[in-house]
C-alpha cells in the first residue's frame, strides 16, 4: 500500500493517474471516464469532488471550442 491509498479514493487515484500522465492534454468528460474506466455519472461526481477540493479548477474554454473546461493547478485541462 502507498500513501495515496490512505489519502485518495480509488476513483480519485484513477483520475490523477490519467491527468498527470498527460498534463497538456484536454479531455472531455466521456474521454476521462473511459480512460479512468469509470461510468460517466461516477466521473461527474468525482470531478465535482476534485473541483471542491481545489485539485481541479473550472476555467472557461475558448469560444470556438464551445465548451467550458477544468484545469488543475498542475496545468491539466479537462473539457467539461
Per-residue pLDDT of the chain (80 residues; tens, 9 = 90+): 777 677 888 888 888 888 888 877 777 778 888 999 999 888 888 888 888 888 876 665 565 555 555 554 455 555 54
Q: Let me know: does 47 contact 29? Beta carbons within 8 Å.
A: yes
pTM: 0.66
Q: Let me know: does 73 contact 22? Beta carbons within 8 Å.
A: no
What is the 3 state secondary structure string of 14-25? Answer: HHHHHHHHCCCC
Amino acid at each position: 500500500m502507498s500513501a495515496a491509498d490512505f489519502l485518495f479514493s480509488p476513483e480519485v487515484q484513477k483520475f490523477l493517474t490519467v491527468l498527470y500522465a498527460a498534463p497538456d492534454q484536454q479531455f472531455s468528460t466521456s474521454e476521462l471516464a473511459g480512460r479512468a474506466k469509470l461510468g460517466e455519472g461516477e466521473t461527474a461526481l468525482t470531478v465535482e469532488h476534485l473541483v471542491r477540493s481545489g485539485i481541479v479548477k473550472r476555467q472557461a474554454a475558448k469560444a470556438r471550442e464551445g465548451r467550458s473546461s477544468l484545469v488543475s493547478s498542475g496545468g491539466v485541462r479537462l473539457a467539461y
